[in-house]
Structure formats: C-alpha cells, structure tokens
A and B are shown apart, each in its own frame.
Chain A
Amino acid sequence: MPTNRETWEQAFGSSTVRDADFTTMSGIALEPVYGPESESSDGPSDYPGQFPYTRGPYPSMYRSKLWTMRMFAGFGTADDTNWRFKEIIKSGGDGLSTAFDMPTLLGIDSDDPMALGEVGRCGVAIDSLADMEDLYAGIDLDTTTTSMTINSPAAVIFAMYVAQAEKAGVPRARLGGTLQNDILKEYQAQKEFVFPPRASMRLVRDTIKFCAAEMPRWHSISISGYHIREAGSTAVEELAFTLANGFAYVELAMQAGLPVDAFAPRLSFFFNAHIDFFEEIAKYRAARRVWARWLRDRYGAKVERSMQLRFHTQTAGVSLTAQQPEVNVVRTAIEALAGVLGGTQSLHTNSMDEAMALPTEKTARIALRTQQVIAHETNVAHVADPLGGSWYVEHLTEEVERQAEELFSYLDQLGGGSMLEGVIKGIEDNWFQGKIADSAYDLERRFNTGRRIVVGVNAFTEGSEEAQIPLLQITNEDETRQLKRLEQVRQSRDQSAVDAALRRIETEAADPEVNLMPALIDAVRAYATLGEVMGSLGIVFGRHVEVPTI
C-alpha cells in the first residue's frame, strides 16, 4: 500500500502548476506542502515561556497582556506633536513612540545651515530641553511608557528626557520606555550616523551602564532590524544582522565590566513585518530561539530574562504603494497579523498614506483601529504561538535559523572570534551595505520582470491614476516657528553655565573611562542645545564618512 505521502506525490505530479515564483521573499524555495517527514528531530518540545522561547517569552502571552499598541508619531514643533500624542492616548493607544526630524536625528540645531528645508518635516524638531518639556507636557510619564527613535545623538536626547521628567516630578528610576540607541544599524542601513563607529559605541556603552545603575524600568537599546529590512535586506539578513548587532552590544557591555545578567534583561528588539506572511512569523520564532541559545551558551547568561527576546514590530513602510493607497490598509493588516501570530510585545501599524507623506490624523486612527480589530474581534490572541507545530512554519523557522547561523559564522571569523569586532569590520568593509544593496536590487529585478506582483503597481493598475487622498502638509511655517523658539532659548539661558557644561563634556569625552551621562544631563539642564552638545563631542570624536559605493 502506498503511503498517503506517496499517493499525494503522484497526484501532485500529474497536476498542472501555475507559472509563478514559489519562493519566499528571501528566496527560500518552498515545497507545495509540508508533512511530518519535514519535521527535524529537535522540533520544539518547549512551551511558551520555556527555553529557547521559540513559542514566546512568557507562559501566558496575550492572555495576561495584549501587545502594546505603540503608534509612532512626530512632526512639526513639539507643540504639534504633543497634541498628536494626546490624540493617540484618547483613541486608546497605550504607549508613545517619538519620531524626530532629520536635523534632530543627525544632532544639529534647526538653525544650522544643513537643516534648511528639513525642520519638522519627517518628525518633531527638538533643539533643547525647552522643546522636550513641551513635547511631553501634560502626559503622565509615570504611567505612560515612551519610545524614542534616535541613534547618533541618543545619549543627548535621553539626557533631555530624564531632565524634563525629573523637572515634572517623576524620578528617573520610575521612568519606563525605550531608547532606540542602535548605532550599528545606522552604518549598515539607515545611514544617520555622525561619529565614527568606535566613538559611537562608547556612547552606547555609557547609556547601557547608566541604565543598569539608575533606571531599572528603561530599555537602553532597541536592537533594530526594521531599518535593515527597509533598506532592502532579505528577512534572513534582517534577522542575522540584527542579532549579530545584539551580540556586539552584549560583548561591548561585558568588556565594560558589566555581568551579562546585569544588562541583557533590558535589551529589546525591533523587527519589520513585511508582506511574506509565514516567512515573517518564522523569522520572529527563529529570532527568539537564536538569541536564547547564544545568550546562554556563548555569553553565559543565567537569568531567564536575559535569554528572552522581546520585540516591537512595525509593518513594512516599503510595502506600501502610492498607487491606490487605500489598499495599503489591507497590506498593513496582514503584516500586523504576522507580528501578532509571531508573538510581538508591541506594534506600530503604518497608515495608508505613508508612501507619500506623514499620516493624517484620520489615517493614523485607521491604522490603530486595524490593531484593535486584530486584538478584539478576531480572537487570534487567545492562544499562544497558534502556528507552533505547523509542519510548514516549523520547517521555515529552522531554515531561517540555519541560514542566519551561516552569516554569524562569517562575522565571527571576520572578527577573529569576536562578534563585536566582526560587526565593526563588516561595517568598515561595506560588507553589510553591499549585501543589503544586492538584495534590494534583486527584489527590484523580480518586480520589474513581473515575477513578483505588487497590486496596483505592476499589475491590476486600473484605478491607480485616480485622485490622491488628502495628505498632511508640513509648511515652512513650522520651520519659522521652531527657529523663533530656538532663538528664545538662546537669549534666555545663562550662557556662562552653558559654556562651562560644554567644556566639561569635551574634557570627559576625551577620557574613555568616564561615563558621559551625568555631564550630558547637566548640560541639557542648562539649556545647551542638541547641536552644541554634539559639537563638543564631535571635537573629540570626529566624524564618520561613508565611502560611497553603488
């Protein structure tokens, strides 16, 4: 008697098959169906909350607490964004996530000549503590957690956050939230770097040490694959590069004398949710498993929380289309569902208009409502790791993990047994940048040949010419208002206190043994601007220049 498998193989063999690309977005070839024979011997026997946490970091997952609906927002001046934050809280969002404008992300002031035309455009403009005070005015930071997407100047912006919260009466030990502070992926993908890698890593070390000592509720880094993916990597590269960066930060902090279990519990991750549904879910499951194994086996973590990878998810901005933008609601919903089925701890859903502009209040609300439908109408959150045991998803999880391990081996060798050195060398050699550009071009070619369809772009284009939906307009008025605010700050502060604080930063920056956080907090309290503080650091640290490659 033939087995069911054999009978199926025969029947499948005589079926006509569509001429289509049956691979994942990462190029993993897929079988038409998976069965028990594709299960490897070490398939997960673990339950949620059990090592290696393939099925989730916590035993009860969403039965205890749904994911945090953390909507990313920021535009114009601090007042504008403060108003949007309050709208988000009113609409049922339960965490804040701050988007900064380009000058802030690069650590320059709004009145710097390079900031021309960029102030408040794709995030909120923050020049000094005065802006930070307005940004969070009237928001209870004791109960609301805040995430800040900032990297090169992360330590300075963090100093401003601590200073403004303490001024508002919330001691730093009670503050909960996340600083992105992931500088490595800036050199690899997002490209908002200022100082050279090693100087930047010193600032990261200082924030990790500061948080470990004084801010038990704060996540000192959010190790981010999101931007790596948006820059064009595959899902496998997103996972591998992100975790490699994570290992680099672990080695950095251990070299600085911190025991792994003193800081690893406060590391968090940030992944993309792209449109290849099952591959994304496999990616999250593999990520948890890889992290747990490396932290225990290579870095000697003993505390469970050090091994439990927790992550934020954002749906893929690059998957959105300018054509027929309403269809983006559907894409975002599917991507968000992948994040939830993959066990994310928090989620941002993009708005339908984000291929063209920052979201309007209405489109941002629809994006939040999308999460609320998933959370409260579909019942998908009732059961942890609902795809665990699926032969397909288990196979894909193993395959993603296997391919990631190959990339780790390369980096480990490159660094002579150190992931920290391997990652820095990989940046200096343009290895990461080249890999990402190759993958981006490969995907583009698949779009161009029609092997991958994007609805409304290279197929089903009827309706793509229709009038666009109303977009958020950022005017030059915001820039003018911000320049006035900055001018007022410069006029009203005690200049000699600022000068002294900046001199202290320069002195302490030159001594790698010193933790810069106290000096940074004192300087921003004196209303030294972001650009001034970064300038003082830059005198000692210098600037990073990327060798342009195509």
Chain B
Amino acid sequence: MPGQRILIAKVGLDGHDRGIKVVARILRDAGYEVIYTGLFQTPATVAAAAVDEDVDAIGLSMLSGAHMTLAPLVISETRARGVDIPVIVGGIVPEPDIVKLKEMGVAAVLTPGATSAQIVAEVAAALAAYA
C-alpha cells in the first residue's frame, strides 16, 4: 500500500537505467517511498541496503541477461539476513525464465511494455502476498 518503502536496484554490470528511473517515478507517483541504490550493485550490497533501509520490497532492473544468476542470489542474500520480503524483477526476461524465476522465489516479473497501472498493480499484489 502507498507509504511502504521500496528499494530499487541495478545489480551486476548492466548500466541501462532508463527503465529503473521511469519505474521509480511511477512508484513514487503511486505513493510509495522509493530508494534507488545506483548502478553496479552486488547481491550482497542490495541485501544489506534492504536491511539498513528497512524496506518492504526490492525491485531489480536487469536488461543484460544475467537475471537467472543474480536474482536468486539477491533473494538468498536477503533471507540470509533474516529478512523475507518480495523481490520483483523488471527488464528483458524471456518467457521460460519467468516461470523459473518464480520457482526460485521471485514474486513478480515485469517485462517490456508493462504499463504504469500494471507495474503498480503487480507491486501492490506482491506486497499484499507478503503482508
């Protein structure tokens, strides 16, 4: 629900930050408090930031194809710190990978063409599922 805190992060080497900045503004306009890590984070730095900032969800933006490796690591690093919050992936993720990512614990996957309304709805649903 609005007022909740969301950490959005770029993990790995991918510098494409157009999508994450647009999504940050969409979520902010929807009433969330958005914290952006900046570029070139590792799963460990994202998990640590999630704990420090006491956020309710993590959004990862990934356009370089490394999602299958890095998204599960963010989940395990976060859980290793005793925090269980939804991790949402946005970016270029092929259909078969979406199924696998969800099996690995990713709460939602948003792909190119997602509208503002869809993004806000998916985030709200993911947060509600963990509430």
Contact A448 B113 (CB under 8 A): no
Q: Which residues of the partner chain A approach B66 to less than 8 Å between Cβ atoms?
A: 102, 116-118, 121
Which stretch from B13-21, B52-60, B76-84 is at the chain A interface?
B13-21
Contact-residue size bin, chain A (C-beta under 8 Å from the other chain): 35 or more
Chain B interface residue count, CB cutoff 8 Å, equals: 35
Query: Whose C-beta in chain A lies nearest to the C-beta of B26?
Result: A444
Q: A117-B69, A117-B70, A444-B22 are in contact. Are A356 and B92 (CB under 8 A)?
A: yes
Query: Whose C-beta in chain B lies nearest to the C-beta of A103?
Result: B13
Query: Whose C-beta in chain A lies nearest to the C-beta of B118?
Result: A448
Contact A190 B70 (CB under 8 A): no
Across the interface, A474 reaches (CB within 8 A) one of B34, B65, B112, B113, namely B65
Bound together, the chains give a CA A549 to CA B66 distance in angstroms of 24
In chain A, positions 486-516 with a C-beta closer than 8 Å to chain B are: none
Across the interface, B17 reaches (CB within 8 A) one of A103, A116, A122, A231, namely A231
A322 within 8 A of B: yes
Contact B13 A550 (CB under 8 A): no
A191 within 8 A of B: yes
A471 within 8 A of B: yes
Chain B, residues 2-25, CB within 8 Å of chain A (1/0): the string is 000000000011111110011011
Bound together, the chains give a CA A447 to CA B21 distance in angstroms of 16
A2 within 8 A of B: no
B104 within 8 A of A: no
Across the interface, A440 reaches (CB within 8 A) one of B21, B69, B92, B112, namely B21
Contact B115 A548 (CB under 8 A): no
Binding site for B on A (CB under 8 A): 102-103, 105-106, 108, 114-118, 121-122, 186, 190-193, 230-232, 318, 321-323, 355-357, 436-437, 440-441, 444, 447-448, 454, 457-458, 468, 471, 474, 545-550
30 pairs, CB–CB < 8 Å, chain A vs chain B: A102-B12, A114-B40, A115-B13, A116-B69, A117-B12, A117-B69, A121-B65, A121-B66, A186-B15, A192-B15, A230-B18, A232-B18, A232-B21, A318-B18, A321-B112, A322-B111, A322-B112, A355-B112, A356-B112, A436-B18, A437-B18, A441-B21, A441-B25, A444-B22, A444-B26, A468-B95, A474-B65, A546-B38, A546-B39, A548-B37
Binding site for A on B (CB under 8 A): 12-18, 21-22, 24-26, 28, 34, 36-40, 42, 64-66, 68-70, 92, 94-95, 111-113, 115-117
